[in-house]
Structure formats: C-alpha cells, structure tokens
Structure 1
Amino acid sequence: MIAGAALALAVAAPTWAADPVKIGFITKFPVPFFATMENAAKDYAAANPGIELVFGQGASATDIEGQIAQIESMVTQGVQGIALTPVDPTVAQALDKAVAAGVKVVLMDNDIPGWNGRTALATTDNYAAGKIAGEYLKSVLKPGDTMGILEGVPGVPSLDDRVNGMIEGLGGLDVKIVGRGATGCTEEQGINLAEDILTANPDLKSIYAACGPPAAGAAQAIRNANLAAKPILVGFDFCCGEAEALEAGIEDATVAQFPAKMASLGVEALVKAIRGEPVESLIDSGAALVTKSNMADFQ
C-alpha cells in the first residue's frame, strides 16, 4: 500500500526538469549581431515550453551603467538565471549580487577575467578566430607590407583576443603596423580612424578591423579615398554592411561567428544549470573565414 501510494505520488508530481524557468537575456548594444542572438533565444524558448525570457540591452559598447541597471532589474523581476554578453569586467560586482541572490549566470560572447561566479561561458574562441584572420592576411601579404588595425574596445578580453590572435596568425611575417586605435565597435569611429591611417599612409597595404561596424566603416573610408591601389581589408563578425563590402570587392575577407548558436547554447546551459543538470564550463560556438566566394553559405 505504501509502495503504491509512493508510485502514485511520483507519477502525479511534476519533475524538476519540467518546471518553468524565468531567464534574463542581456546583450551589449543594438547591432544585428545581438539582434540575431535575441531572435535565437526566442526560437529556443518557443521550441522548449516552460522558458520565460526577459530581454535587456545597453545603449552602446561602453554603456557599463546601463548594463548594471539591466542586471539589477532582472534580479528585481525574479529571474532564476541571467544570460549576459558583458560589456565590461566592472559589471562583475552587480553579477556578484545576483549570484548571492541565487541567480545562475551564463556569460556569452566574452568572459570576465578572474570572475568565478559564472556557471558557463558560451562564446567564440576569439583568439583562435583572430588567428583565422591573421593566417589569411599572411597568405596575401609579404614581408615589409604595412597594416592599420581598427581595434574594438581595448580592455574587453574578447576584442583584445581578436587582435592578438590575428597577430599570432601572421606567423612572424614582418608586417609594419603604421596605425592602430580603438573604434568602440562603431562604424563612425571606424571611418574616422581608417581615414586618418589612409591619409598618413596612402600606400597602405592592409587594414584589419576587430568588429563588423568598423570594418564597414573602413570600407567606406577606402571608397572615399580614391586610392591608386586598394588595401586588403579583413574584418570580423560578418555583419553590419560587411556583406555589401565583400560583394563590392572592397572587403576581402572577414571572420564569421555564429551568434544564433552562441545564444541557443547559452540559454540551454542556463536552463540546465537552473534545473540541476550538469553543464560544461566552456562552450565553443565556432568561427569561420568568409570571402565573396563562400559568403552565401553564411547568410
């Protein structure tokens, strides 16, 4: 009789894995890359009933206070987990408070160095992806050629890795870096910095941009410059006007991430963690080289 009652109770009671979860999903700023991530998170939730998503986003690539406010708002709204693309390591203090309140945290896109509060990191291996760009540049440049580098936001590990990985990918090729600076991952700053570098170096051989918007900005600067010989342009992200620049032959290559995969893997890891299931601490969503000849495979 006791065994029968226990069996009936076990059948009637919902399993923990079936319990609904409420998740905050916070991205850095409004560009297509993060819109793709949001859409993928929505698709994942639609395909897996019981997941409620609350979305938040910062205003720019340097909107630290805005992201902190989003984190605090998610905790107030009672989320059980937060999936976050951290805009800066200094948001860790707000995340510490969330974790102390029992909220699980999965980081996406980039890590927070030295912060141990995350359950998992779903990301592109940005250093390895940067090497893909550098290896391509090595194949088309020769010793003594010049290069300008359009950085993203210095101090953000994933963006720094894209530059450092590219340099390693050059494999010791003697390339002279004649200009280098931050762009905030914006097209406007990309245009301005590329114009400055091209003005000072009209025979520039190459430009590497660590984010999609400044790559598109560099393409515009190259158009405007009316140079005798176009520099080789390599970007990162395959977004924000890069497809048009590749099609026009102004951008030569870029490195594509897989933001939809990154988002779905991040949400999946967070749901598993909330439901008490094991989760890998590092989840690599991959990267690939895109050129005009294969870009249709990535659209």
Structure 2
Amino acid sequence: MSASARPASTTSRTRTTARALAAAAGCAALLASAGCGSTAVGAASSKPVVGLITKTADSGYFQALRAGAEQEGKALGVDLRSYAGTGETDSATQIKAIQELVALGAQGILITPANSDVLPAIADARTKGLLVVALDSPTDPADAVDATFATDNFAAGRSIGQWAAATVDTKAARIAMLDLNDAHVPVDVARDQGFLAGFGIDLADPKVIGDETDPRIVGHAYTGGDAKGGKAAMEQLLARDPSINLVYTINEGSALGAHEALQAAGRAGQVTVVSIDGGCDGVKATTAGQIGATAMQFPLRMARLGLDAVIDHALTGDVPPSSPGLAFFNTGSQLVTDKPVGGLYSKGSDWGSKNCWG
C-alpha cells in the first residue's frame, strides 16, 4: 500500500527497529538470541516463525491482510505460516492453528479471532511465551491478547452515519440495519452502533445491537458478511417495510447483495446504502452509485504493524502501546464518497480506487 493510503488523521507510529536489526544481524543472530524463543523454532525452520490466522481465506479483506504480512515477513526474514478458518465463526480451525504454532515454537501469532471460543487457546499460547496480536477484530476483554491493531470501527461507523444524516431526510428515514451474525462480535457491534450514533439515534447500550427504540429503525437482519446473505437480509427487511430508504451494511459484500435485492424490487435508485471496508469492489460500487459512501480501512497496514510488533518483541521484549483513549492501536479509516457533504472530511472514489485493497 502506498504511503498516501495511510491517512494523516491516523496516530503516528514510528516503524519499529525490527527490520533494521534483522537485516543487520540476520536470522541466525535472532535465533541465537536468548530472548528469541525455544530451540524448537530452529528445528522447525531456519527463520523465526510467526503465524497468521484469519477467519477465512476467500475474503478479499483477509487476502489483503495476508498480502501485507507476507510482504513484511519477506522484508524481515520471517517464516510466515498462514492459516484460515472456513467461515466467520470457525473457532475450531483457529484453535488447532494456535496449538500447531505453539508446538512449532513460534515467536508470535497474528489473529483475527472468530469469537470468544478461541480465547483459552490464546491464553495458553501467551503463557508459553508467544506474543499474540489481534488484527481487525478486537477481543472482549481487550487484554485477552498482548496487542491489537484495528480500525476504530465505532468511528468508521459514525462517519458513514454522519454522512447519511447530511444526505437524507433524517425525519423521514426508514432504516434497515444489515449486521454480521447473531454472535454480535465486537466489530459488528461497534460498526452498527457507530452508524446509529453518527446518524443521531440514541443508543440504549452501545455494547448491544438492536436494543434501540427509535421508530425509524425498521429492523436488524444478519448477512454473514457476504453478498448472498446481504441480498437475503435486504429481502427480509423489505418484506417488513417496502418504504426503506436508508441501508446500513456491515461490509461491502453485504452492501452489494443489498443493492441486488433493491434493484430486483425496483427501489435501487430510491435508497441510500452505506458501508465499511474500502475494498476495490466496494469503491467501484461507490463510483457506480450502488454505495453512497463507505469507510475505507487499511488491512495491509494492520498486518505490517502486527508483524513488526512480534519481531520487535522477540528482540526487545517491548509490547506496542494502544492509541490514546482506546484499548487498541487505531490504524485509521477514511470516508470515501462521490457526494461530499459540508463539515465532513471525505475522499472521492478516484482516490479510493488508487488506495483500495483486494
């Protein structure tokens, strides 16, 4: 990703000394260091081992995470072992991967946790000396991992909510909320609640999805985070209220499915759709007017910083700090739309197409 893809609003973090140290000393010196882990690493690989565990392998977002980690791993001389679940909530595959990495004597693990079921395995890995870094998906509690690099999803949701509030008639809004699934993982909750707060809807409990009493909300439906689920969820809520005119979506895959359902119902030109992710397909949909605005996040940056953190910890024992006021390091987001509104900073889809992922 180009430097321009790292928004100026993102908290600045100096690049760790890991790359310089690894390049100067070589992997052999790293492995010889008393602080670099057990001799099992040397038996398994001639390079320090770091694991990357994502929720799925077929998502463009997680493919971008992997690309960022592979690029940084090559620069650092790291043996990156990649694993992926079969779905958003496949904790069993993630647990097996954690156990395998522990057995290999890995230096650390980068993980997008499927759900709370993986936390005991993470805790076991940490007790055995591995640095565990969450990417994209914060854990609950936050200190279940050593560090987290993620988008401030509440802020990302709030930005598209503020844009929507400045774009549609807020008093006449009929809102469809297309969420992820009934597990209500932190990223799902934060995006949903951020959007509603940005739109000006009172939140009952900001840690809970669906407890609002505002009559403008038609309902919440689950998408599974893909186009098929987005289409089905949109159809479900349209059946409940055909007058829906504003649609929040958890990600751009579900937004594209929602657009398909709206098009089939003859409503596509009458409904505003907003989303979060910043993938290239989503930016194209923004250019085409299928998505009114999206909040771009930066998965390559997450992966690079996460991998740097693991190697830096192996060399120095340091653990990266969180951003001020947050329980994680915020890698930033950028509102992308071709319909800018006053008082809200945004970039156009031309910029988005040059800085998107996937």
TM-score by length of 2: 0.74
Q: Give the unaligned 5+ runs of structure 2.
A: 1-24, 37-46, 203-213, 323-328, 339-347
Hey, what's the Cα distance between the residues in 2 that align with 1:187 and 1:35?
Answer: 17
**Percent identical:** 29
Aligned residue number for residue 287 of structure 1: 333
Indicate the structure (1 or 2) with the bigger Cα radius of gyration: 1
Q: Secondary structure at the match of 1:54?
A: strand
Aligned residue number for residue 188 of structure 1: 228
Q: How does 1:104-183 map to 2 (within 5 A)?
A: 104-114=131-141, 116-142=143-169, 143-153=171-181, 154-172=183-201, 176-183=216-223
Hey, what's the Cα distance between the residues in 2 that align with 1:262 and 1:124?
Answer: 9
Question: Are residues 1:298 and 2:355 paired?
Answer: yes
Letter in 2 for 1:141: V
Q: How does 1:262-281 map to 2 (within 5 A)?
A: 262-281=302-321
Asked if the contact 1:207/1:232 (under 8 Å) is kept, the reply is: yes
Asked if the contact 1:213/1:239 (under 8 Å) is kept, the reply is: no
Q: 1:240 to 1:200 in 2, by over 3 A?
A: farther
Q: How does 1:86-105 map to 2 (within 5 A)?
A: 86-105=113-132
Structure 2 residue aligned with 1:200, among 240, 258, 269? 240
Question: Are residues 1:48 and 2:76 paired?
Answer: yes
Hey, what's the Cα distance between the residues in 2 that align with 1:53 and 1:162?
Answer: 30
Letter in 1 for 2:319: V
Letter in 2 for 1:261: R
> How much does 1:17 deviate?
11
Q: 1:246 to 1:14 in 2, by over 3 A?
A: closer
Hey, what's the Cα distance between the residues in 2 that align with 1:75 and 1:182?
Answer: 35
Q: How does 1:198-277 map to 2 (within 5 A)?
A: 198-227=238-267, 229-239=269-279, 241-277=281-317
Q: 1:199 to 1:17 in 2, by over 3 A?
A: farther
Q: Secondary structure at the match of 2:319?
A: coil
Q: 1:298 to 1:219 in 2, by over 3 A?
A: farther
Hey, what's the Cα distance between the residues in 1 that align with 2:282 and 2:265?
Answer: 18
Aligned residue number for residue 5 of structure 1: none
Asked if the contact 2:165/2:199 (under 8 Å) is kept, the reply is: yes
Aligned residue number for residue 8 of structure 1: none
Asked if the contact 1:222/1:250 (under 8 Å) is kept, the reply is: no
Asked if the contact 1:83/1:108 (under 8 Å) is kept, the reply is: yes
Asked if the contact 2:152/2:330 (under 8 Å) is kept, the reply is: yes
Hey, what's the Cα distance between the residues in 1 that align with 2:269 and 2:240?
Answer: 15
Letter in 2 for 1:127: F
Asked if the contact 1:135/1:166 (under 8 Å) is kept, the reply is: yes
Q: Secondary structure at the match of 2:200?
A: coil
Cα deviation code 1:169-205 (max 9, x no counterpart)? 1134877010212222122111101012223322211
Hey, what's the Cα distance between the residues in 2 that align with 1:215 and 1:84?
Answer: 25
Aligned residues: 287
Comparing both structures, which one devotes a greater share of its residues to strand?
1
Q: Give the unaligned 5+ runs of structure 1.
A: 1-10
> How much does 1:213 deviate?
1.5
Hey, what's the Cα distance between the residues in 2 that align with 1:18 and 1:273?
Answer: 9
Q: 1:117 to 1:275 in 2, by over 3 A?
A: farther
Question: Are residues 1:72 and 2:118 paired?
Answer: no
> How much does 1:98 deviate?
1.1
In the TM superposition, structure 1's runs of 4+ consecutive aligned residues that sit over 3 Å from their partners are 13-20, 172-175
Cα deviation code 1:31-61 (max 9, x no counterpart)? 0001001011111112223x11111011111
Hey, what's the Cα distance between the residues in 2 that align with 1:280 and 1:14?
Answer: 23
234-243 vs 22-31, greater mean Cα deviation:
234-243
TM-score by length of 1: 0.88
Hey, what's the Cα distance between the residues in 2 that align with 1:244 and 1:272?
Answer: 38
Q: 1:40 to 1:137 in 2, by over 3 A?
A: same
Q: 1:76 to 1:196 in 2, by over 3 A?
A: same
Hey, what's the Cα distance between the residues in 1 that align with 2:100 and 2:35?
Answer: 26
Aligned residue number for residue 60 of structure 2: 32
Asked if the contact 1:233/1:253 (under 8 Å) is kept, the reply is: yes
Q: CA RMSD in A?
A: 2.3
